[in-house]
Amino acid sequence: MSKKSTRQAYGEALVELGKINKNIVVLDADLSKSTKTDLFKKAFPERHINVGIAEGDLIGTAAGLVTCGRIAFASTFAMFAAGRAFEQIRNTVAYPKLNVKIAPTHAGISVGEDGGSHQSIEDIALMRAIPGMVVLSPCDAVETKKMVFAAAEYEGPVYLRLGRLDVETILDEEYNFQIGIANTLREGKDVSIVSTGLLTQEAMKAAEELAKENISVRVINVGTIKPLDGETILKAAKETKFIVTAEEHSVIGGLGSAVSEFLSEVYPTKVKKLGVYDKFGQSGKGAELLEKYDLTAAKLISIIKENL
């Protein structure tokens, strides 16, 4: 399988989008080479703004531009967007329901060597809590591109979570992404893995290995964490024995929490969570950190066997 980072796919998608929509503007906080918005800058220098190392200004300027009819994509690292600029996102973008797309890169512990201070494992929880905020998390380059176009068409605030690490491309170009709809990538009757981001690749690997032992695993890729696709989650809860959620994020407030909160009210079901358990990240190579924090197919297999 080919590999590409979701941040690279994001930069490429912005260029494609910019060619067909003259209202697209892209803003960055002095990290355009890392966020890959430099690709858009090269293609459309008059529609790219570097606000400098000032994340509050990044969001405030994006908000101002959309009041003039633009569609603004604002990018920096996830730690700085969801963390440092939280107040501006809440009060300047979400409160007035402005058409700003916050699209940070370098989310999760796979950021690697930048260490725990820069590895955002709380951003989904923060963005989920904001009223009216759509939260997207692509699993690969194909889904990223489709999310960028869907976000541009959606009227309102969107948080699009992107990563640094090159990840396997597992979806084909025929993949149909719609905001609010989860996609079942593999059918199964014993257990369901509900995954997002690069853990979807691990979910597919786990399902393939378990099939060799006659354990049937359903894999559901949740590209939209908010609004959650309750219909697909409920169907999985009713048709399989239990659910395992998988995400490169804290188990507090992320996908696992969203699934548990939903099912507890409509169809109480056993939910096991794979994610980061109340710890900070640390410096190391991205792939090695995923192993260290057990964000792997092997851990998914272990959880499923222990609970069947």
User: Which residues belong to the active site?
Assistant: 55
Task: Decide if 248 contacts 109 (C-beta within 8 A).
Answer: yes
Distance CA 295, CA 2 (A): 21
Report CA dihedral (252, 253, 254, 255) to the nearest 10 degrees: 100
Q: Taking the mean position of all CA atoms in its chain, how far away is CA 282?
A: 21
Task: Decide if 82 contacts 120 (C-beta within 8 A).
Answer: yes
